[in-house]
A and B are shown apart, each in its own frame.
Chain A
Amino acid sequence: MFDRRFINYFDWGLLGLSVLLGFVGLATLYSAVSSSIPTQSPHKILYFKQLIWYGAGLAVMVIAFLINYKSIERWALLFYGICILLLVCVMYFGKYVGGAKRWLILGPISVQPSEIVKIAVIISLARYYSKIANTGGINLRDLFTPLVITIIPFFLIVKQPDLGTAMLVILIAGSMTVFIKIEKRSLLFIIVSCSLIAPMVWFFLKGYQKIRILTFLNPDRDPLGAGYHIIQSKIAIGSGMITGKGFLKGTQNALFFLPEQHTDFIFSVLSEEWGFAGSTALLIVFLMLIIYGLNVAYRCRDPFGTILSVGITSMIFWQAFINIGMAMGLMPVVGVPLPFISYGGSSIISIMICIGLLINVSMRRFMFE
């Protein structure tokens, strides 16, 4: 059963990059929680919680690479079904936090099933696409099943509401679909019909829904909320200048402006303290990790493994791109966690499963034929 080649082909690079990002995340989180209101020491608990989540994440990662991904392919539907069930549970038994119902309470811990659902969607789509892919591209009829796979969790997550994660599901599914190539005529049809339907949907939206979307697209419309966060985030990043203010020396996040400083706006904390040099380094590490993930897809010898790796990498890419872009004022303000860095147990577990799966595909690349 155990094959020595596993050790020979084990992807130390992937593991190394992940551990490096993990340490950067812990350091940044430490700074974020220490420089927030000093008298509120319970915030420090966040830091230790995150440490424990990393430990758990490592264990889950090991499981994720030990199980042969071929069997994962076989059980894709079951995994998907369980995840959807969990989302339905959130709808009925979930806990309200800050106006949204995203959490399931399991004893002492609370989990966010939407984080795991992303992986289920990736595996299911990879399994489906690997069977129908062809060089001419897939047509409209082939798109029906992927649409169903994507739309069910999408609506369940929108209902929570968690627009960021819901949008991410669409982006990941979209990336995988584009990767697999859509037939030209079908693609044209999709683009034309979408641009026709969008204005009609807009027409049917209620006033407050329109305002919410406009604010989402243009945070300046909400100068006391999102708009203010963006400005403070930009000031924090910019004030880091080239070398940064130094570890634990950041001042912007001490202001009472960012309740989400250790989740959504963690990049601005890092950027203020480490400057252009440190931020660039972080971007390069992320870029390396993503290219590494794509390289796993490149070297893989079977379609399922390839598409799976592309899907997982696209998830890491979109989260990093959106989160950092948002902190720099390039994107709408959405709650998308920065992989490895942002605070949040479910997010850590989910990203560690992803790394495990990439290692899984990578170390089994010579096991075919």
Chain B
Amino acid sequence: MTKYLKTADMEWYKQRVIISMLFVAAAFIVLFVRLFYLQVIKGDELRRLSENNRIRLQSTDPPRGLIFDRNGVLLVDNRPSFDLSIILKDAKPVKETIRKLSKYIHVSESELTAKIASAKHSSPYKPIVLKQDIGRDMLAAVEVRKYDLPGIGVNVKPRRHYINKHRAAHLIGYLGEISSGELKSSKYSELKQGDFIGKFGVEKAFESFLRGKRGGRQVEVNVMGQVVSVLKTVDARPGKNIFLTIDHILQKQAEVLLKDVAGAVVAMDPENGHILALASSPPFDQNIFVDGMSHEQWEALISNPFRPMENKAIQGEYPPASTFKIITAIAGLEEGIIDDNFIIYCPGHYKYGNRIYRCWKRGGHGNVDLVKALAESCDVYFYQVGQKLTIDRLASYATACGLGSPTGINLDQEAEGLIPTSAWKRRRTGISWQGGETLSVAIGQGYNLVTPLQMVVLTAAVANGGIRYKPLILKEIKTAEGKTIISGERQSIGQLPISKQTLARVNKCLWEVVNHPKGTGRIARIDGIDVSGKTGTAQLVKRRDDDTESEADISDHLKDHAWFVSYAPSVDPKIAVAVIVEHGEHGSSAAAPIARDIMRTYLKKDEYDRHLRLAANPSMRITIKDKTQTGEKDAIQRSM
């Protein structure tokens, strides 16, 4: 290795340093030449482009993804909106331009200058929006006088449009302008002030899919700020399209049926958890959130005592009332309290301690077994089952059935409800649990709170043999080109705490609720299809320990809530429905017909097709409701 013998001496280093100096000199010559080229040779041209900053960037908003129902019926799309804006640096003299503009479009000068004043802090080259969503007349007036209005521009933006007023308003939700807090979060790093994002419902839950990617173009403008040529364009990428699990026919029907009441309807496919309809009443108009609403409109929305802004199907917490007897029955059966010999005599009331607990039927039910107890909703029977179970055992069954915790639906603000335990009460009030309270809980009163969504998941599980499926609102997400990128997957979230045999007994009882001559849910019968269900009448005012109020004392707005949970067909069910009607008084009369009509539409093809035709041609509206109700009454009379 001879080369290692030649150690580098300082003379050798000096040579290398000189070579380095030459290299540096060469590199700097390149820089000098480039500088000379830009500033001396191209100087004039670039100076011209620099005047009034001729090369500008204009951004194009992406069209937001569309929303469809399960069958591809369009529910939400975008429409073009023309926004009038001004760029101060181009609009010289600004005062004169504003004066002329005001004359052409008949908007007062003061309104326009106020808009400009409110945006004083932005760059003078940033367009300030003077008026959003101007009409064709105003657009024409501005376009015609374009050369008289320097710095004034009209930008076309896609604007959200909810096609059917009120349709699935709570489920779909709405958009709102991004807040300064949201702007700071990394989730919205691509957004800027003035952008709209989903604030509620599906619009919020699938925001990242629905939102596309902003595009833009490099343009050269003239002194007046008008585009002379487009240098480069990057197309905006549209958002992904969302296909929901809901069926717009069922959804519409649910909304029509809830039209004059406050309440909620949730329909679900028991086999996979697909939400077929999710309606809350009263609804609200989603379009005013996008188009801008007046102060009065907003006041009206938030001060309405029937709370239109609340999605009652997932946010409403109600006492489950007699629908909870399904849980009490399950617990009683599984714990061996209810067996074939467990028969109770109901005189219309039950004495516990020194208090009388009434049955809803003053005259009493006489001898009651499980079938009769559920079919006729005997309170006394379940008082005794509850008393034997004790509160914590009962609560553990309710919790295992999914009550008292959110179902995990992909929507914001889902309420969790409440299943009381003795520990909960002590923690909450400091007072220990009273035996009498267990009696109230056993019939679904007391501290119990559930949401309609929890009840439909429970009902679906009872219907399908015991599997609780996560409620699913997303069928699939597709790209604008139609390629499916995500499909909603059926997901089990638990198993009812009950054996198949015991569940079959409960199913039989729920069939009796509708089909027994004295069943409380007999109004829900459908010709040719077996229906099962359970009624409920929820006391609105919480009953205190010493409360002995009678129904007659209660004023109108404190009337009981009406519940009906059901599924059909009774064997191999295809649909489960939970209905609550606030102040509807009786589950049997107020809630059950709604569930029945929805199930009939879903299960009977001719009925579905009739609604489809109706939807396509709203003018041939006929009074379906009256016709069918008389028919039902006949049927009930026949069977009695």
A residues at B contact (CB < 8 Å): 37, 39-40, 96, 99, 133-137, 179-181, 183, 220, 223-224, 227-228, 231-232, 234-242, 251-252, 254-257, 271-272, 275-276, 279-280, 283, 286-287, 290-291, 294, 297-298, 301-303, 306, 310, 313-314, 317, 321, 324-325, 328, 330
| Contact partners of A37 in chain B: CB under 8 A | 121-123
Task: Quote the shortest CB–CB distance from B117 to chain A (angstroms).
Answer: 13
Task: Quote the shortest CB–CB distance from B10 to chain A (angstroms).
Answer: 6
Cross-interface CB contact of A232 among B14, B55, B126, cutoff 8 Å: B55
CA A287 – CA B38 in complex, angstroms? 20
Task: Quote the shortest CB–CB distance from A303 to chain B (angstroms).
Answer: 7
Contact A297 B38 (CB under 8 A): no
The interface bits of chain B over 18-46 (1 if a CB of A lies within 8 angstroms of the residue's CB, else 0) are: 10110011011011101110111011111
| Contact partners of A279 in chain B: CB under 8 A | 35, 39
Contact B189 A99 (CB under 8 A): yes
For residue B54, which residue of chain A has the nearest CB? A235
Contact B42 A136 (CB under 8 A): no
| Contact partners of B13 in chain A: CB under 8 A | 297, 303, 306
Question: Can you list 19 A-B contacts (CB < 8 A)?
Answer: A39-B120, A135-B3, A137-B3, A180-B16, A223-B218, A223-B234, A224-B234, A228-B218, A236-B50, A242-B43, A254-B125, A276-B35, A276-B39, A279-B35, A280-B35, A287-B25, A287-B28, A298-B17, A321-B28
Contact B24 A290 (CB under 8 A): yes
For residue A130, which residue of chain B has the nearest CB? B8
Interface residues of B in 495-541 (CB under 8 A from A): none
CA A133 – CA B10 in complex, angstroms? 11
Confirm or deny: B6 has a beta carbon within 8 angstroms of a beta carbon on chain A: yes
| Contact partners of A137 in chain B: CB under 8 A | 3
Q: A224-B234, A235-B46, A236-B50 are in contact. Are A135 and B8 (CB under 8 A)?
A: yes
Cross-interface CB contact of A241 among B18, B39, B186, cutoff 8 Å: B39
| Contact partners of B10 in chain A: CB under 8 A | 301-303, 306
Contact A134 B7 (CB under 8 A): yes
Confirm or deny: B614 has a beta carbon within 8 angstroms of a beta carbon on chain A: no
Task: Quote the shortest CB–CB distance from A287 to chain B (angstroms).
Answer: 5
Contact B32 A317 (CB under 8 A): no
Task: Quote the shortest CB–CB distance from B1 to chain A (angstroms).
Answer: 9
For residue A290, which residue of chain B has the nearest CB? B24
Max chain B Cβ within 10 angstroms of own Cβ: one of A224, A242, A256, A298:
A224
Max chain B Cβ within 10 angstroms of own Cβ: one of A227, A272, A287:
A287
Interface residues of B in 113-172 (CB under 8 A from A): 120-126
For residue B13, which residue of chain A has the nearest CB? A306
Contact A239 B35 (CB under 8 A): no
Contact B39 A238 (CB under 8 A): yes
Interface size, B (range): 35 or more
For residue A232, which residue of chain B has the nearest CB? B55
Task: Quote the shortest CB–CB distance from A167 to chain B (angstroms).
Answer: 16
Task: Quote the shortest CB–CB distance from B235 to chain A (angstroms).
Answer: 11
Q: A37-B123, A224-B218, A298-B14 are in contact. Are A136 and B6 (CB under 8 A)?
A: yes
| Contact partners of B24 in chain A: CB under 8 A | 287, 290-291, 294, 317
CA A40 – CA B120 in complex, angstroms? 11
Contact A271 B27 (CB under 8 A): no
| Contact partners of A241 in chain B: CB under 8 A | 39-40, 43-44, 47
Confirm or deny: B49 has a beta carbon within 8 angstroms of a beta carbon on chain A: yes
CA A264 – CA B176 in complex, angstroms? 36
CA A82 – CA B59 in complex, angstroms? 46
For residue B125, which residue of chain A has the nearest CB? A255
Contact A330 B30 (CB under 8 A): yes
Task: Quote the shortest CB–CB distance from B140 to chain A (angstroms).
Answer: 31
